[in-house]
Amino acid sequence: MPEAASSIPRHVAVIMDGNGRWAGHRGLPRLKGHEAGAESVQAVMKASRDAGVEIVTLYAFSVENWKRPEDEVSGLMSLLPRMLTKHENLLHENDTRLRAIGRLDQLPSKTLKELHRVMAATAHHTKRQVVLALNYGGRAELTDAVRKIATKVQKEELEPEAITDEVVSAHLYAPDLPDPDLMIRTSGENRLSNFLLWQLSYAEFYFAPELWPDFREEAFNQALDVYAQRKRRFGGVESC
């Protein structure tokens, strides 16, 4: 674990990649990989709590993931409410609020009902937040933001000249959240895959070799160690 508390990222975003390959290597159905990956979520949440990370955003299901085999998609949609129910007590015990971003209204009704229930039940928690990106895409988020802004312009509530970076940010799915400081992607893949395209502009990236079901506390702490050694300049120059 990093020694300097000032070097701990406030907000960590995670692309949880490699569940299917993990299952394939073991001759198991892909859904078994997602089930194993759910255990890594719990391990990372514990590690982030112990390290002092306030916010963790998890890329759980993208707008493109609907293209996957029907049995895998339906399995994922039934796995999510089961995991929410199973681990809700941990959210309460750790004073953690559950949130979700994405085009949530397109999720199956049973999945959405349980998601909304747990979000409401944990809404009063203030110490930490876990954000699930569900039916999420960075381009979709920006498209939805532009639509909201265009509607305000059309109603003459906003002048085009008044549209700034801050205005765009204010129309994203969770405008109150700070941008991620660190983005972790597992499984050795080195791409963003349409994740938080606006918010990750100045984040530090860490690409882990482990498949997501193998990414546990030690691997997460390794990512924090690497982050602690980075020099963040945000377009400026390093001070002496």
Question: How would residue 4 be classed by pLDDT, with cut points 50, 70 and 90?
Answer: very low
In this prediction, residue 236 carries a pLDDT of 63
Q: Indicate the pTM of the whole model.
A: 0.93
* 19 in active site: no
Integer angstrom CA distances of residue 159 from 146, 152, 155, 165, 173: 14, 8, 10, 14, 22
Q: Please determine, for residue 91, whether its predicted confidence score (pLDDT) is greater than 60.
A: yes
Q: Where are the domains of the chain?
A: 5-229
Q: Find the mean pLDDT for residues 29-39.
A: 95
Q: Please determine, for residue 238, whether its predicted confidence score (pLDDT) is greater than 70.
A: no
In this prediction, residue 239 carries a pLDDT of 55
Q: Which CATH number fits domain 5-229: 3.90.650.10, 3.40.630.30, 3.10.450.50, 3.40.1180.10?
A: 3.40.1180.10
Catalytic residue among 65, 94, 194, 221: 65
Helices assigned H by DSSP within 94-131? 109-121
Q: Please determine, for residue 141, whether its predicted confidence score (pLDDT) is greater than 50.
A: yes
Q: Please determine, for residue 2, whether its predicted confidence score (pLDDT) is greater than 50.
A: no
Q: Find the mean pLDDT for residues 150-162.
A: 97
Residue with tokens 């949880």: 16
Assess contact for 172 and 195: CB atoms under 8 A.
Answer: no
Assess contact for 211 and 40: CB atoms under 8 A.
Answer: no
Rounded Cα distance between 222 and 84, Å, is 27
In this prediction, residue 159 carries a pLDDT of 97
* 135 in active site: no
- Rounded to whole angstroms, the maximal C-alpha distance in the chain is 59
Catalytic residue among 17, 19, 135, 181: 17
